[in-house]
Amino acid sequence: MKSTITWQGDMAFSGTTPSGHELRMDAAPDIGGKNSGPRPTELLLYSLAGCTGIDIVMILKKMRLELTGFEMEIEGTRADTEPKKFTDFHIHYSVEGDLPEEKVIRAIQLSKDKYCSVSHSLSANIVASYSINGTKGDRTL
């Protein structure tokens, strides 16, 4: 999976996702942004909720169960000191329909323990590498 994100001036960046959707991110006005898009950290929360939500809907459908409503409330706590990383997340699920509670719990557990790639990426020891197109050619940092 690969994307190109382009600076749009001030603190805004935009690009097209690999699935073809335009996405814009921006910072808060107090640090030079114009609030023209969500913050990257907000998108991280949405990514986690979206990933587990999609899993749960798919799993319940495979169980031949029909949702009539589904909402998630996600909360993330960030450290007070730089880099102010997330220290924990909590997702509260509200599901509606004729759904046996044990099946809903099973769907949530399967997403949490097996399927949600965002959740597993957040808890993994990910190797990140960085490079720059400098005056002397590409350099790895």
**Which pLDDT tens digits describe the chain residue by residue (141 residues)?**
999 999 999 999 999 999 999 999 999 999 999 999 999 999 999 999 999 999 999 999 999 999 999 999 999 999 999 999 999 999 999 999 999 999 999 999 999 999 999 999 998 788 888 888 877 778 787
Pair 51, 102 in one domain: yes
pLDDT of 111 reads 96
Find the distance separating the first CA and the last CA of the chain, reported in whole Å. Answer: 21
Judge if 34 and 49 occupy the same domain.
no
Q: Which amino acid is at 141?
A: L
Q: Are residues 52 and 116 in the same domain?
A: yes
Domain limits for position 67: 39-122
Other CB atoms within a 10 A radius of the CB of residue 100 amount to 10
Do 4 and 56 lie in one domain? The reply is no
**In a shared domain, residues 62 and 108:** yes
Give me the long-range contacts of 53-56 (CB less than 8 A, separation at least 24): 55/107, 55/110, 55/111, 55/115, 55/116, 56/93, 56/95, 56/104, 56/107, 56/108, 56/111
